[in-house]
Amino acid sequence: MNDSTRTVLFVLGVMLAALSVAKLIPAVVDLQSDAASAHAFLGSATVGGFIGGVLALMTRGGAKTLTARGAILVTGGSWVVMAIAAAVPLKLAVTGMSWTDALFESTSGLTTTGATVMTGLQDQPAGVLIWRSILQWIGGIGIIVTAMAIWPLLGIGGMQLFRLESSDTSEKALPRAGQIAAAVGVIYLVLTFICFLAYIATDMTPFDAAAHAMTTVATGGFSTHDGSIGAFAAGGSDLVALVFMILAALPFVLFLRAAQGRPDYLWTDPQVRGFIGVVLAASAFLTAWLFLTDPPLGQDLPAWRLAAVNAVSVLTGTGYASADFGLWGGAAVAVFFVLMFIGGCAGSTTCSVKLFRYEIAGAALLRQVELLARPRVVRPVRYGGRAVSDDTVRSVLSFFFVFFTTWVVSAAALSLIGLDPVTAISGAATTIANVGPGLGPIIGPAGTFQPLPDAAKWVMTLTMLIGRLEVFTMLVLLTPGFWRR
């Protein structure tokens, strides 16, 4: 066994053991109120902890090296292993849940997609509800660390642009990537705690506040109520969600730099400016649309509030809903569909394509147009004041091609399974973009994924993983060539 393989197995063992420790939280929560659920979590934690501990002990020691192949195995393997392990207590604790549904729900949690097959949430065991929130919270911080530590080294989808060692020492927030990851983890924890206090101030119960704080900062969208964040809108919880969804969609490294005395990074970063611009434009359009059309809203809330909360929720991939925006009319639904494919900033907890790729692709397009008019001009693509290499541009453009091709293929597969066109197209979009709700009466904001056939759930489970891991990571693992020596 070479050092890289040993490192991969060691990391998988540690992560499995850590996830098992996290299962003790819902076990304690349900200890007095639901013994069956508590036993499910305790038993799962015991078995998972044993397997993870043995694997980590067997592969400990030696040089901890990681090749590019090993980095892909760690990234893809850890999310798959954790999704399977997280599904076990759900299957055992939730009455009538199949293994397919359990894996769909756990994958949706870890990938922070927020699509659910569960109904009657307010009647489910408290441990199950808090476990769903914990999964999304783990997935949120996990994707930030992965985006900073692994993808830039592999150059996946243009992420090499954010390679820490590509800038000089004066621009680094801290001298080592490990230190940055630890500092960002602290910021993630602090932001979650502040969000929790803000929810408490809106008259949420401590349990609901804790569950929603984790899923808001993770931009995951799981709720403790079938009515999602709209069930708590009377106290203003939807506005708290709006603020923290926006904060969670910004690059977390910029919060670190702001804490070190450079808050100007927060408004000079091109991603942040682009993201805020999209938020304002989408909210303004939807507000005007609601004023002009007066659709059935179902709640006594201002149009701007409904527009902003739901637009930001879909844009960031959180998936909260304070109203059934599927009833707002064709133009509004089209806007929400487009927002699914945008996402937030790189280095945040958000999903989908992300703003920086659109900005780089736009700059590359403008350069190409200029070259047609002035063939002798020499002008590189620039982003954030820096020249972008041709490799990075190609990587970004390749990401667009593979991302949207995967969406089309998965939509076609869902159609062949028997889903109607709206459900198939929006279901493929919302899972690969890790948004949560789709469109239409079945999987729209007022529906769930429960009625779908198992085959469709398996396709969507795979697309959730593909989308969350920036497409290339999972697709490489699915190619036979990767496994050949």
pTM for this prediction: 0.92
Instruction: Give the pLDDT mean for 195-208.
Output: 95
How far apart CA 240 and CA 305 sit, in angstroms, is: 11
Phi, psi dihedrals of residue 383, rounded to the nearest 5°: -145, 125
How far apart CA 216 and CA 338 sit, in angstroms, is: 21
How far apart CA 52 and CA 16 sit, in angstroms, is: 5
- The tokens describing 166, both together, are 């590509």
Confirm if 428 and 464 have CB atoms less than 8 A apart. no
Taking every pair of Cα atoms in the chain, the longest distance, rounded to a whole number of angstroms, is: 76
192 is in an annotated binding site: no
- The tokens describing 187, both together, are 């910021």
52 is in an annotated binding site: no
Q: How many CA atoms lie within 13 A of 341 on its CB side?
A: 16
How far apart CA 209 and CA 232 sit, in angstroms, is: 10
Cα 392 to its chain centre, rounded Å, is 23
How far apart CA 255 and CA 217 sit, in angstroms, is: 14
Cα 80 to its chain centre, rounded Å, is 15
Q: What is the mean pLDDT of the chain?
A: 89
Each residue of 36-54: pLDDT tens digit? 999 999 999 999 999 999 9
- Where is pLDDT greater, at 165 or 304? 304
Mapped onto helix, strand or coil, the DSSP state of residue 397 is helix
Say what the pLDDT of residue 367 is.
86
- The tokens describing 301, both together, are 């809330």
Residues 88, 94, 96, 97, CA torsion sign: negative
Element counts in the chain: helices (H) and strands (E): 22, 2
State yes or no: pLDDT of 154 exceeds 80. Answer: no
Cα 347 to its chain centre, rounded Å, is 11
Cα 430 to its chain centre, rounded Å, is 11
256: Cβ contacts below 8 Å, ≥ 6 apart: 173, 174, 180, 183, 184, 187
Say what the pLDDT of residue 84 is.
96
Mapped onto helix, strand or coil, the DSSP state of residue 381 is strand
220 is in an annotated binding site: yes
Side chain identity at residue 456, one-letter code: A
Q: Which residue has the tokens 């945040």?
A: 348
**From 73-77, 306-310, 376-380, the region with the lowest mean pLDDT:** 376-380
Say what the pLDDT of residue 64 is.
63
Confirm if 439 and 86 have CB atoms less than 8 A apart. no
Closest by Cα among 26, 139, 47 to 90: 26
Say what the pLDDT of residue 148 is.
76
Taking CA atoms, 127 is separated from 112, 255, 318, in Å, by: 18, 32, 22
**From 342-351, 420-429, 456-465, the region with the lowest mean pLDDT:** 342-351
1: Cβ contacts below 8 Å, ≥ 6 apart: 9, 59
State yes or no: pLDDT of 218 exceeds 90. Answer: yes
Side chain identity at residue 423, one-letter code: T
Say what the pLDDT of residue 164 is.
55
Confirm if 312 and 393 have CB atoms less than 8 A apart. no
How far apart CA 227 and CA 437 sit, in angstroms, is: 13
Say what the pLDDT of residue 296 is.
64
How far apart CA 87 and CA 135 sit, in angstroms, is: 10
Confirm if 474 and 466 have CB atoms less than 8 A apart. yes
Taking CA atoms, 45 is separated from 17, 36, 151, in Å, by: 8, 14, 30
113 is in an annotated binding site: yes
Residues 410, 416, 421, 424, CA torsion sign: negative
Cα 288 to its chain centre, rounded Å, is 29
Closest by Cα among 346, 363, 298, 357 to 325: 298
Say what the pLDDT of residue 169 is.
36
Confirm if 351 and 468 have CB atoms less than 8 A apart. yes
368: which strand partners? none
How far apart CA 150 and CA 160 sit, in angstroms, is: 10
Say what the pLDDT of residue 232 is.
93
Each residue of 99-144: pLDDT tens digit? 999 999 999 999 999 999 999 999 999 999 999 999 999 999 988 8
State yes or no: pLDDT of 170 exceeds 70. Answer: no
Confirm if 136 and 220 have CB atoms less than 8 A apart. yes
DSSP classification of residue 382? E
DSSP classification of residue 164? G
398: Cβ contacts below 8 Å, ≥ 6 apart: 157
253-263 as b/e: b if 16+ CB within 10 A: bbbbbbeeeee
434 is in an annotated binding site: yes
Confirm if 254 and 151 have CB atoms less than 8 A apart. no
Instruction: Give the pLDDT mean for 441-465.
Output: 94
Confirm if 125 and 34 have CB atoms less than 8 A apart. yes
